[in-house]
Chains A and B, each alone.
Chain A
């Protein structure tokens, strides 16, 4: 079951989805198998072959009426990350293509994206993989029609005012504009999921030589973390 707070990405709807999921979890309804959020929705998994639909719909409607979810605050204890990134080159071959679609030259594209502070809107697609935004309207570029067969782990990709760092090698319709060594899912470590919704990130541009020198024993690709007060 999906509870959707908007038909397009917007800030209040994103906060509402996060807060509503937290509230559903607090109810501890026995029929709810698991919950999650997307950019603007809260998702509940219920086995409808065992649970009457009407009852769960009424419970959700009562909870929705209990407060104004669009006024909800962001989660506490958020982090700000600085993630070294190589833009373009053979490591990230679609920078020029994305810049052309946004109608800017590649240098301007790098300047704009590397100075943007984006927020984790949701985690999804693959373990720990962040959808981040929103970039300026310049970057409201569509996904490509075909799928890129695979981008590597750490790939920074762009579409519809959002960027993603890929957790694992995977096919995608988003354009590959930068490369990081930032591990978003580290299953062998005490903190397997690096990011949480609400965390913020900046992707400063580094040259290829300094990128190659990053000591990657932590799996975080030279990223720095600070706490948002």
Chain B
């Protein structure tokens, strides 16, 4: 029997996301997929399943969920106030959602995108090779109250695991490399860019995130009439008014605004997760250094599963404490245990 997850209350911007779909760039469709890829790998590590598994991405705040079977789930990304039948849950950990119980996920406390992963993955139909909604491309839609999502077969039972928190939710330094047009900017403009403290503008979504700053913009003289060229997620596009936009995974495939650089894939979660107002700075790396940084980050993702540890529970928070057998392991302090 296929298990189902019913959304009994949907937040404003929830969608099914995975690692996206490749192979359609030539016909105008970018890869799309989760805004915070690392969160997908973390959820997969916590549940012991493939990082290809589809999860629910929750921008800003979550919703309420009920299942028609016991299912395992994990919560990663931006921490949100999560409760199981009213009892608080630890974020960045795996838990059991018993049949009929209600999981509620509130507003983001730090960061922007929270993720709800289900053991077996969300099993909505595969469209052109992936399950992710590509809202800008017209594939899929935002999740709504009343939606019922099929769940894939789960082969494991372990829950109550956790991962160390990764600091990427409050801005910081974002590493970049030169893009095809960096050399067309005046070198003073590029150095001013890398020495500016930006704030993540509230204008940000799955297509791109605007950076706000004090002072002049970063316009290039011929900026409004350059030839439209391939753009990729991570590109930092300078719009006509001189303000930078970091393009995200659901960006367009081509664009006519000049790009001052490209954010490394491993630092994209930091851009995606920065809350409005969080301070971000950009650091330019040469290509070889950047390749080294990115290769190390890929190895770190592979090592996530080994970093999973059991969740240590505080007895004061265990609501059914008295049902546990607590004295079965008692030994005498005087007896020699090696006798």
B255 near A125: Cβ-Cβ < 8 Å = yes
Q: Contacting chain A: which of B21-29, B273-281, B318-326?
A: B21-29
B225 near A160: Cβ-Cβ < 8 Å = yes
Interface residue? A124 (CB, 8 A): yes
A146 near B241: Cβ-Cβ < 8 Å = yes
B25 near A126: Cβ-Cβ < 8 Å = no
Out of A33, A38, A124, A187, name the residue touching B127 (CB < 8 Å): A187
Residues on A with beta carbons closer than 8 Å to the beta carbon of B28? 123-129, 167, 185, 193
Interface residue? B139 (CB, 8 A): yes
Residues on A with beta carbons closer than 8 Å to the beta carbon of B241? 145-146
Interface residue? B86 (CB, 8 A): no
With A49-B298, A53-B287, A126-B137 already in contact, the answer to whether A34 and B227 are too (CB < 8 A) is no
Q: Contacting chain B: which of A39-47, A80-88, A198-206?
A: A39-47
Interface residue? B102 (CB, 8 A): no
Interface residue? B229 (CB, 8 A): yes
Out of A45, A126, A187, name the residue touching B252 (CB < 8 Å): A126
| Count: A-B pairs, CB below 8 Å | 125
Interface residue? A139 (CB, 8 A): no
A187 near B180: Cβ-Cβ < 8 Å = no
Complex CA gap A36/B24 in Å reads: 9
Q: Contacting chain B: which of A2-10, A71-79, A110-118?
A: A2-10
With A9-B227, A34-B25, A53-B287 already in contact, the answer to whether A145 and B240 are too (CB < 8 A) is yes
Among residues of A, the one whose C-beta sits closest to the C-beta of B23 is: A34
Within 8 A of A (CB), among B7-50: 22-29
B227 near A124: Cβ-Cβ < 8 Å = no
Residues on A with beta carbons closer than 8 Å to the beta carbon of B307? none
Contact flags (1/0) for A27-57 with B, using CB distance below 8 Å? 0000001111111110101001110010000
A131 near B225: Cβ-Cβ < 8 Å = no
Interface residue? B303 (CB, 8 A): no
How close is A5's CB to chain B, nearest CB, in angstroms? 11
Interface residue? A173 (CB, 8 A): yes
Contact flags (1/0) for B221-247 with A, using CB distance below 8 Å? 000110111101000000111000000
- Number of residues from A at the complex interface, CB < 8 A: 47
A38 near B240: Cβ-Cβ < 8 Å = no
Interface residue? A144 (CB, 8 A): yes
Complex CA gap A129/B227 in Å reads: 16
With A127-B28, A142-B225, A187-B127 already in contact, the answer to whether A53 and B240 are too (CB < 8 A) is no
Interface residue? B183 (CB, 8 A): no
Complex CA gap A206/B224 in Å reads: 31
Interface residue? A104 (CB, 8 A): no
How close is B271's CB to chain A, nearest CB, in angstroms? 18
How close is B308's CB to chain A, nearest CB, in angstroms? 24
With A49-B294, A125-B253 already in contact, the answer to whether A187 and B138 are too (CB < 8 A) is yes
Complex CA gap A105/B53 in Å reads: 56
B254 near A127: Cβ-Cβ < 8 Å = no
Interface residue? B136 (CB, 8 A): yes
How close is B52's CB to chain A, nearest CB, in angstroms? 16
Complex CA gap A123/B239 in Å reads: 21
Residues on B with beta carbons closer than 8 Å to the beta carbon of A127? 24, 27-29, 137-139
Among residues of B, the one whose C-beta sits closest to the C-beta of A195 is: B27
Out of A36, A162, A168, A187, name the residue touching B26 (CB < 8 Å): A36
Interface residue? B173 (CB, 8 A): no
Among residues of A, the one whose C-beta sits closest to the C-beta of B297 is: A49
B127 near A40: Cβ-Cβ < 8 Å = no
Residues on A with beta carbons closer than 8 Å to the beta carbon of B295? 49-50
Interface residue? A225 (CB, 8 A): no
Residues on B with beta carbons closer than 8 Å to the beta carbon of A102? none
Residues on B with beta carbons closer than 8 Å to the beta carbon of A38? 227-230, 254
With A36-B26, A193-B27 already in contact, the answer to whether A168 and B138 are too (CB < 8 A) is yes
Residues on B with beta carbons closer than 8 Å to the beta carbon of A8? 227
Residues on B with beta carbons closer than 8 Å to the beta carbon of A6? 227
Contact flags (1/0) for B277-316 with A, using CB distance below 8 Å? 0000000000100010011011000000000000000000
With A45-B25, A125-B254 already in contact, the answer to whether A39 and B137 are too (CB < 8 A) is no
A168 near B180: Cβ-Cβ < 8 Å = no
B229 near A123: Cβ-Cβ < 8 Å = no
A-B contact pairs, 20 of them (CB 8 A): A6-B227, A21-B26, A33-B22, A36-B25, A36-B230, A38-B230, A49-B294, A49-B298, A124-B228, A125-B253, A126-B137, A131-B228, A131-B254, A143-B240, A143-B256, A147-B239, A160-B227, A160-B256, A168-B137, A173-B240
Binding site for A on B (CB under 8 A): 22-29, 127-128, 136-139, 180, 224-225, 227-230, 232, 239-241, 252-257, 287, 291, 294-295, 297-298
A-B residue pairs, 4 tightest by C-beta = A124-B254, A36-B26, A125-B252, A145-B240
